[in-house]
Amino acid sequence: MFNTIKTSKVNKERVSLLTRKLNLGAENIIARLALAYSVAGERKLDLADVSDSQGKEYSYKVLFGEYGEFYMAMLCVHYNLHISDKDLVRYVKMHVDDGLELLDQEFQKSSSSGVEFLIQKINHGLQK
C-alpha cells in the first residue's frame, strides 16, 4: 500500500471548486468519486504520463476511509496487477487526477447538482 498521494498542482484548486459545486461532502469524497469515474471510463492510463505531485495531499486512510481494499481491488482488476505491485500507487494518483479533470469538464457544461449527476450516472450504468 502507500502512505500518501498528491494530486497535480492544477487539481489542488479543481478539487476545492468541485467540492463546493457538487456539495457531496469533503474533498476526499470528491477525490474518491474522481478515481471511480476515471476507472469507469475503461481507459488504461500510461504511467509515463504521470503529472506533477504539487497539489492536494491525501493519506491512504483519508482518501479511502474504510474502503481502501475495494478501491485497490478495482485498480488491480482494471490493470491486471497484484496488490503488491509497486506501480499501484501511481495508478491511484493518475486516476484521481484524471477523474478530477473529467469531472471538471463535465460540470463546466452542466448545471446539474452533485446528486443529480450521481443519479444520472447510476441510471446510465443500470441500463447497460
Residue 67: which H helix or E strand, with range?
Answer: none
pTM above 0.85, yes or no: yes
Q: How far is Cα 120 from Cα 1, in angstroms, rounded to an integer?
A: 33
Just give the CATH number of 4-127.
1.10.1220.160
Amino acid letter, 111: S
Q: Where are the domains of the chain?
A: 4-127
* pLDDT, tens digit (0-9, with 9 covering 90-100), for 35-88: 999 999 889 999 999 889 999 999 999 999 999 999 999 999 999 999 999 999
The answer to whether 56 and 12 have CB atoms below 8 angstroms apart is yes
Q: How far is Cα 102 from Cα 125, in angstroms, rounded to an integer?
A: 17
